[in-house]
Amino acid sequence: MALNVVVCLKQIPNPDLQFQIAADGKDIRRETLNYKLNGADEYALEEAVRIKEKQGGRVVALTLGPKRTEPMLREALAKGADEAVRVTYDEPAAFDVGKNARILAAAVRTLPHDLVLTGVQSDDYVNSATGGLLAGILGLPHASVVTRVAFAGAGLEVACELEGGLQRVVSLPMPALLTIQFGANTPRYAPLPAIMKAARQPIKELGPSALGLTSWDSVALPYAFEVTGLAPPAAKGRAEMITGSVDEQAKRLAQLLKEKGFVRR
Amino acid sequence: MAKDVLIVAEHLEGQVTPSTLELISAGRGLADSMDEQARVLVLGHRMEQLAQHLAGYTVEVLLADHPALAEYAGDAYVQAVRGIVESMRPRVVLVSHTSQGYDLAPALAGAMDLPLVTNGLAVAFEGDRLRVLRRILNEKVQVEVEVRSERPIVVTLRPGSVKPQGTGRGMQSVTPVPVTIDPSAVRVTFVRMERPQVQDIDLSAADIIVSAGRGIQKKENLVLIEQFAKAIGGVVGASRPLTDMDWLPKTRQVGQSGKTVRPKLYVACGISGAMQHVAGMKDASLIVAINTDPTAPIFEVAHVGFVADVLKLLPATLKELKA
């Protein structure tokens, strides 16, 4: 059975970086950030492509964000997505996951979908909410933190990771939404010819009017949402920091381990 | 609208999860600040005993019993909670930010068109605004958000962020609540539970753990971690990315989705300290962290920290230990 798979991707600032707060305290400073495809979404993309390779069908890579997301979409095309769609909501911070998900849901409605995949969470805002919200809004059955996808009859049988290493296996019919966990597969590298080809492929853009909206401000929200402020985290008790050259640090560490009786002589 | 706080209890294989007790504590604080009541909702089948147990935490317990709720499955639970939220109209619905919680809470908010804030560390009302404190960008930035709504606000709280309170003296009542589930709308069905196959050392029994994270850069560098662990009589653990890449078996993973450990010594080598990892090791007696990034959140839970490249510091320390 050929399947239409929509995989939702998010571009995030590399979380290994150090961050500074913008002058107004409402966002981080974004001028110098480098962006990448969100970690869990790499696995969602790979899962989507594998499903297509096994079942036949098409993969559409969908994102919400400014023009800077285009290289990420081309990466998705190079790794096996057939089409890339960018919803042109270009609010750089986009903290309100509820608004993002409502716009994204409207975009998914315009695309044929037997299966919608997202990553389990984005590593920048760690909401773990977009997938579940989409399922609720679109009325799709869903499963979260999925580590294994199998096709059974006309539906799916998937393993969902719980705390402490337990896995809950559930079955669900399609269309369905799955949030894919880190490590669910081994994401591929894009072959060079595919990268070259992806560079020339068009990226479809969906603006507010394509989603039945007059503007991005006219998304109907049952609430008012405001970011009141960003700050460096309140230090909960910092480690005693050992400074100096590597050799000096090594002396101190060895001394500490000996003092505390962790070294057998 | 009522001002009540509805706390959704979580249980796994017949046991209340620890985060549920934290949620009760947070929910009672929130309700007290509004002079209103916190109620705990237990969903399941034949869960009377567990409900009675929770009533010992001096909260009124609502028991939603239905065969379709015997095992957690997304849409049956969403349906059941939806019915109760519609009749009770609470101000806030609190859910744990766990695998089960982030399956349930966003789907509920999406299906009912409710406001949602997830992964909060603290939650409080200020006037008609609900303020939620969150941590973002690998724990490096704290953000406070405010939500105002006429509708119930769904909030998930991160496990470990609130102290659970002990059982109270007065037992509260357990009240059964009606559950209506349309079986034709239950599409997700439970198949089975799978347990990890243990054929490895038990990390949670170790006194000394040397854990490696992405900072070790290459699988070949695990040899160094093993040498160091051996020198101090410890065993090797790992953060999630390493077990995901199959550098080490899943049994060695420390964190929320792996093992929770409380060794005498925990050495975190090139581990940034994402919450999912910290949840599994923060109670170690002595935590030593080595990381090149001085802003890495691991230094917040560590007792002793080294801003250093683990690939340089460990060989130098091994040399010192032999001297």
CB-based contact A126 B275, cutoff 8 Å: yes
Q: Which residues form the domain of A55? A: 3-218
A254: in domain: no
| Per-residue model confidence (pLDDT) at position B163 | 85
Q: Which of B95, B99, B104, B204 to mutate to test the interface with A (most CBs of A within 10 A)?
A: B99
Give the pLDDT confidence score for residue B269 in this predicted structure: 97
A125: confidence class by pLDDT, cuts 50, 70, 90? very high
**Kind plus residue range of the DSSP H or E element containing B51:** helix B48-55
Pick the residue of B12, B19, B321 with the most A CBs within 10 A to test the interface with A by mutation.
B321
Q: Which CATH superfamily is domain B5-185 in?
A: HUPs (3.40.50.620)
Q: Which residues of B touch A136 (CB under 8 A)?
A: 78, 106-112
Q: What is the pLDDT of residues B184-218, one digit of tens each?
A: 999 999 999 998 776 778 898 899 999 999 999 99
Residue of B nearest to A163 (CA): B257
State the average pLDDT over residues A122-141: 97
Asked whether residue A265 carries a pLDDT value surpassing 60, the answer given is no
pLDDT digits (tens, 9 = 90+) for B85-129: 999 999 999 999 999 999 999 999 999 999 999 999 999 999 999
| Number of residues that this document lists for chain B | 323
End-to-end CA distance of chain B: 72
Residue A186 lies in a domain: yes
Band (B258; pLDDT cuts 50, 70, 90): confident
CATH code of the domain in which A184 resides? 3.40.50.620
Q: Indicate whether A158 belongs to any domain.
A: yes
Q: Is the peptide bond before A202 cis (omega within 30 degrees of 0)?
A: no
Q: Is the pLDDT of residue A188 over 80?
A: yes
> Which residues in chain A are closer than 8 Å to B72, comparing Cβ atoms?
168
Domain ranges of chain B: 5-185, 203-322
pLDDT at B84 over 70: yes
Residue A62 resides in a domain: yes
Give the list of residues 6+ apart from residue B118 with CB closer than 8 angstroms, or none: A97, A127, A128, A129, B97, B102, B105, B106, B155, B156
CATH number of B203-322: 3.40.50.1220
Contact at 8 Å (CB) between A35 and A24?
A: no
State which residue of chain A sits closest to B300, comparing Cα positions. Answer: A238
Q: How many domains does chain A have?
A: 1
Q: Cβ of B114 under 8 Å from any chain A Cβ? A: yes
What ipTM score was computed for the predicted complex, to two decimals? 0.93
Give the three-class secondary structure for B28: helix
The pLDDT > 90 percentage for chain B reads 77
Is position A212 within any domain?
yes
Task: Give the pLDDT confidence score for residue A1 in this predicted structure.
Answer: 79
CB interface of A with B, residues 182-221, below 8 Å: 182-183, 221
Within-domain flag for A189 = yes
H or E segment and range at residue A11: strand A11-13
Residue-wise pLDDT for A44-78, tens only, equals 999 999 999 999 999 999 999 999 999 999 999 99
Residues of chain B found within 8 Å of residue A134, distances taken between Cβ atoms: 110
Residue A147 C-alpha, separation from nearest chain B C-alpha, in angstroms: 11
Q: What does the pLDDT read at residue A164?
A: 77
